[in-house]
Structure 1
Amino acid sequence: MLAATAACSGGGGTDDAAKPDEDHAAIHVDRPVALADQDMKVRIGGLRARDRVRVAVHAVDQRSQPWSAHGDFSADAHGRIDLDEQAPRGGRPYAKADSTGLISSMLPTAGSGVKMIGSGDAFSYHPPSPAEKRSFEVRLTVSKHGKRLADRTVTRQWLTSKVRHRKLTVAKNRIDGEMYTPPKGERRKAPVLVFGGSEGGNSGEYAAALLAARGHPALSLCYFRCGKGSGRPDAINMIDTAYFVRAARVLGDEPGADAKRLAVMGNSRGSEIAQLLGQRHPRLFRDVIAYAPSARINGPYLAGASGRAAWAEGGRPIPAGPIRLDNVRGTVLAIAGGNDKMWGSAEAARVIASQKNASGASHRQVTYPKAGHHVNWFPYGQPGQEGGADGQVVSTSGSDQAAREDGWARVLKLLER
């Protein structure tokens, strides 16, 4: 059911104003302004019965490169199309009815400069970061035989107006990250320390911003490949738990943070250190969210990272091998894809869930059989995709999106308990 309806039409005007022999359309969106992890309902009205039209989405990424996706639809006997009830004809670019399906299916447009050919070339849509811009815009269009009938711009927010942001640096704070905090005076909630995996950089800040918009103080932490002059290493090699502990203490001191409920969220290689923190520092960390996880400590990563360990504590290497979780104070929630081509995250999730925490309660896992490695974080975005040798997308994008929607709801429920 539409919570509130907003309409916009282009070309042929509104339903009432259009002449009987004119092509026209109106785009109705229930949430024209909403958080980026919120669903939206899209309907097209004002068409002729059984009209065949093309519905498209257009956006620009953080490098000002255009992305888009389109699908062909047929209006019903009343000249309407409900994207939540009708999938594109031919199952392209997605197979099941979904108002956010086009947003989730966006790809670089021709001439965007994003390489799409060659197995293993991963690419994904990255709008301006929350630190740069609190929201991004997506333009919806409806056309028939190449003629534009309507357009509508919707705003997808990372941050509500009162959420605060500040940059943390090694020089000033001894950590590199982006801090997002809810408005002062709100109910104290579980703070969340967020970080990614082998991609390096500050990849968790979109998720951290959305968590803050939902009332959870969140810190997106960069632990390696943080940029020239950052003071952080360029490899996963002897990265000490002390760095993460320091970040967690800074986060726990934020207004609105219930430090006793502090959670850590790590993706892929980051899942290793997330579990280690829960196991080795249970007084500081309660819950652990491990996306596309490993159940064991792996070796160093990136050039020049051979000869020692990926992780350390007190300057001493933490040996590779299985990760024990019997000292964890709260719950480890492992979220994995059964079609993960990067590594065996589904089996790792099963191993994690087979263990018990300090109080004897079992850890948890959820595995999405058709999803791949990109099950991490919030839904309705653009997970990584890969181009095959023939130029066709060969990823598990649709299943990854479904996994993100369900997994994100489970994460929020865990944090709220």
Structure 2
Amino acid sequence: MSFTRDMMIRYTFTAKRQSFARLVSRASMLGMVLGVASLITVLSVMNGFAAELRDRVLSLVPHAVIVSSEGALTQWQSLAIELQSVPLVKHVAPFIDDVALIQSSSRRLGSQVRGIDVQAQRGVNNLHERIVSGNLKELQSRPFTIALGRSLAGQLGVMTGDVVEVVLPTLSVTPLGVFPRVRKLLVVAEFEVGSSIDALQSYVSLETAKRLFSRGGIDGLQLDLGSPDRVAEAIPVLREKLRDMPGQGTAPHLTIADWRESQGSLFAAVKMEKIMVGVLLLAVIAVAAFNIISTLTMSVTEKARDIAVLRVMGFTSSGVMALFLGHGLLIGAVGIAVGAGLGVFLALWISEIATLLEQLMGVQLFDPSVYYIGRLPSELQWGDVAITTCLALILSVLATVYPAWRASRISPVEVLNNG
């Protein structure tokens, strides 16, 4: 066994080989290094982008909402208390949702206007942490005030302290005709998440929303479950809770939806993109792995006389096959190990490396006004490393089978007679 191992190492690393065969062997190893390192690094960067997107988008999206199909909820406080008793529910906050046109002196844009209880809202999202101008508390203390997304405010050409007009989706009948209802609101705060939400969302107080949209109650309740990942566990429990509540058996008007219904397609697209990029980069590893076929084929041709001598010395055909299988796997394993190490290093330090390149080259790789981020995010997941190395090893094994089998079929008699 030790003799076979020594022969594997000698065939893999010895310098006494034809220069072209040695070049192909090194190229195969280098290709494996680059393929594995690239796949690990790119998957980590995509994980970083997905995590960044998830944190930004879900920072203002409640984990779940409960709404009524029969209009506004008037006696919602008792429902909130019942839901709060469910262990999976951390916080409950009321809301009113509607759409309106917000206009300034220069532009008019549509917006999703949400009425909130500012204090209760702190429990279901981190809107208060996203304020970049003004004071969110003024929504509650001053009537007819509004908080705008930073992008929405920029497109309207307004800032904190300015007044905007909100064109409501209802009509007023006057002696002069029918006109849309318009209300002036004072901008008291601007928030910024770093996603498309900044250009679409705006907030008012719950009382202001009731007066603007003529609501007698609220539209529903927002639920915080501690983590977006807990919705799969919590939703069945909450549905069962709603069915067991008094009145729900005869009037099942309360329905529950979670963030996956409103944002799930976005994250599914990101996940599919990661899979497709992984498959494409896996092709690079496959090319490097099947280069091992060329390396071993030339090695078998070069070592034909050595194989014949080994067979005469008592080596079986299966022993020769094992020798060249080990030879090919050693080439692949060295490339995979170095590539995995390089990939992990790049995944952990790619953000700093990108920043250093920006400073040296004097360019900005990611414009925050376009990409909403100013750095290259990366999140190393060891599962990606394990899958990448396992797939690379499998491809290396497949690439070594035919040349090793061919080596085992060499006839020592023919080789020695021709020699």
| TM-score class normalised by the smaller sequence | under 0.3
Q: Which has the higher contact order (CA 8 A, sep 6+)?
A: 2
**TM-score, length-normalised on structure 1?**
0.22
If you compute each CA radius of gyration, which structure gives the higher value, 1 or 2? 2
Q: Which structure dedicates a bigger proportion of its chain to strand?
A: 1
**TM-score, length-normalised on structure 2?**
0.22
